Amino acid sequence: MSRVARGVVATLAFAVAACGRSTPRPVAAPAPAPVAPAPAPPQATPKLDTISLPPTDRAGAAAPRARTPERPAQRCTLDFENTPETRFLSVRDPIADKYTTYIGGGVIGRCRSQAIRINSDSAESYEQNRLHYLIGKVKYREDRVSLDSDRLTYYQAEERLVAEGNVVVVMKDSSRMTGPRAEYFRAVRGVRTASKVIMTARPTLRMYETDSTGKRQADPVMLVADNIVGEGDTLFTAHGRVELDRTDLTARGDSAVLDNVRQYSRLMKKPRVESKGKDSFTLTGRVIDIFGRTRKVDRVLSIDSASAVSKDLTLSADTVDLRVTDNRLDRAFAFGPSRAQAVTKERRITADSLDVRMPGQRLRELFAVRRAYAESDPDTTKITSKERDWLRGDTIVARFDSVPARDTTSQPTLRDLVARGAARSFYQMPSNRGEKDKPGLSYVRGRIISVDFKSREVQTVTVTDSVAGVFLEATPPDTLPPTKAKPTRRPTRAPAPARPGAAPRRRPGPGTSE
């Protein structure tokens, strides 16, 4: 090699190395001695308008795997490698003694002593501001994240990267985010303890879940929102017109949080969850929590103004807790200070709390606890009345007949109602004479009242202990006793008016005559 060629190579190496000048690498502080953890304070009730992770959904559930904390890396000292196609122009600032370098023909950058690589078509490097612009087919690679975009700005002093144009971010757990713009904050000692990705302009998140054996599922969880923030690589928050799509349900809301490790999601501000499948259900409220196990939803909890609607039943209360098996409702709880209400096609039941058991999403039993009240309309084919039949008690248990699995159109029919504790009932019975507007009235009280139904009609009413009651039936007009005529009184004649000028007549006193 000639002396001129050797001089050119040496100059190129010096100029490219100058682009990577930085302050000396900070020395890591010694790790503090371990301190025994303090006792956990009592858990406070979370605010409904804030994002907070709830405890394990129920006792006996398998504890979720712990989230592995990130290890902050060191700052990046970026060096640009030479390639046969690389072209560059380096300009020195004589006052600051710093270089501004323009590189084209393919750029390859690496962080010293770290597995971080940046490729692009061209780049601009400002040593004084520790700022790098990369343009065209940008690819950023590190252990935690991979990032592709049309343009990338690397703020080296802040350890922050801003990607624009056809951005694709792939997390360590294969979660994939796409959108027009993203900011990536590196986890660096002395700067921040955990990495963060912020995507704006309505990005899309595809989160691939794994089953209990660690096998990746084919269908991802889809999340679309105005803004999505990824904390680490498994916790995401979303704001603005949130749309969550799973294989078993869809959800909508104004904000949401997804924890892929705990298999937990929360939606806030007018959320709505709707299951998929033939027998779907819909849940609304102010806040909705979604819990899963083995990558399937098994619990959906709605807090504040909650309402759950299925084909057989509508539940409403301050809190509605749904348990799901194989994408079908299996059990439901409703409770709260404003009382709970269950409405079927034929009746309405209210109480302080409700426990509905519906295996295979077919209504079987309903337990109403404390100040229970059930009401229904009488049989309109036999009775015409504005009054409703009702039953009261401390508790009410409603049992429904089973419906064959192949019959998906029929509603479960009520078999019996049992009220316990200060029970009272009022029912209207069809008239024996066929008069629809004059039904018989039955009112009874007792400790236990059992009402049996047949063909959707009241068959018998059985009262146990402290029995009292009355039955009223309209009497035919021809069986009523004749009414006696009241004696008439002779009308009293008014006195004649006095003549003009005449003295008023005086009534005679005792012992005198006129």
User: What pLDDT band is residue 457 in, cutting at 50, 70 and 90?
Assistant: confident
In angstroms, the CA 361 to CA 98 distance is 72
Residue 19 has pLDDT above 70, yes or no: no
Provide long-range contacts, Cβ within 8 A and 24+ apart, for 362-367: 362/312, 362/402, 362/403, 362/412, 363/312, 363/313, 363/400, 363/412, 364/399, 364/400, 364/402, 364/412, 365/397, 365/398, 365/399, 365/400, 366/342, 366/397, 366/398, 366/400, 367/395, 367/396, 367/397
State how far the alpha carbon of 50 is from the alpha carbons of 47, 202, 273, 279, 336, in Å. 6, 22, 19, 33, 21
Of 149-158, 374-383, 434-443, the range with the highest mean pLDDT is 149-158
Return all residues near 193 (Cβ < 8 A) that are at least 6 apart.
70, 72, 187
Closest CA relative to residue 147, chosen from 117, 127, 173: 117
The one-character DSSP state at 4 is H
Q: What is the pLDDT of residue 248?
A: 87
Asked whether the beta carbons of 349 and 341 are under 8 A apart, the reply is yes
Range 359-377 average pLDDT: 93
What pTM value is reported for the model?
Answer: 0.74
Q: Are strands 227-231 and 221-224 parallel, antiparallel or unpaired?
A: unpaired
Residue 170 has pLDDT above 60, yes or no: yes
- At residue 419, the 3 state secondary structure works out as strand
Bridge partners of residue 48, in order along the sequence: none
Q: Please state which of the ranges 21-25, 301-305, 340-344, 458-462 shows the lowest mean pLDDT.
A: 21-25
Asked whether the beta carbons of 374 and 274 are under 8 A apart, the reply is no
Asked whether the beta carbons of 317 and 336 are under 8 A apart, the reply is yes
Please give the mean pLDDT across all residues of the chain: 81
Asked whether the beta carbons of 374 and 390 are under 8 A apart, the reply is yes
Q: What is the pLDDT of residue 473?
A: 85
Write the single-letter amino acid at 507. Answer: R
Q: What is the pLDDT of residue 146?
A: 95
Q: What is the pLDDT of residue 340?
A: 97
Residue 507 has pLDDT above 60, yes or no: no
Asked whether the beta carbons of 327 and 277 are under 8 A apart, the reply is yes
The helix (H) or strand (E) run that includes residue 266 is: strand 264-268
Residue 297 has pLDDT above 50, yes or no: yes
Return all residues near 230 (Cβ < 8 A) that are at least 6 apart.
169, 171, 175, 177, 196, 197, 198, 199, 205, 236
Cα angle for residues 364, 365, 367 (degrees, 5° grid):
165
Q: What is the pLDDT of residue 43?
A: 42
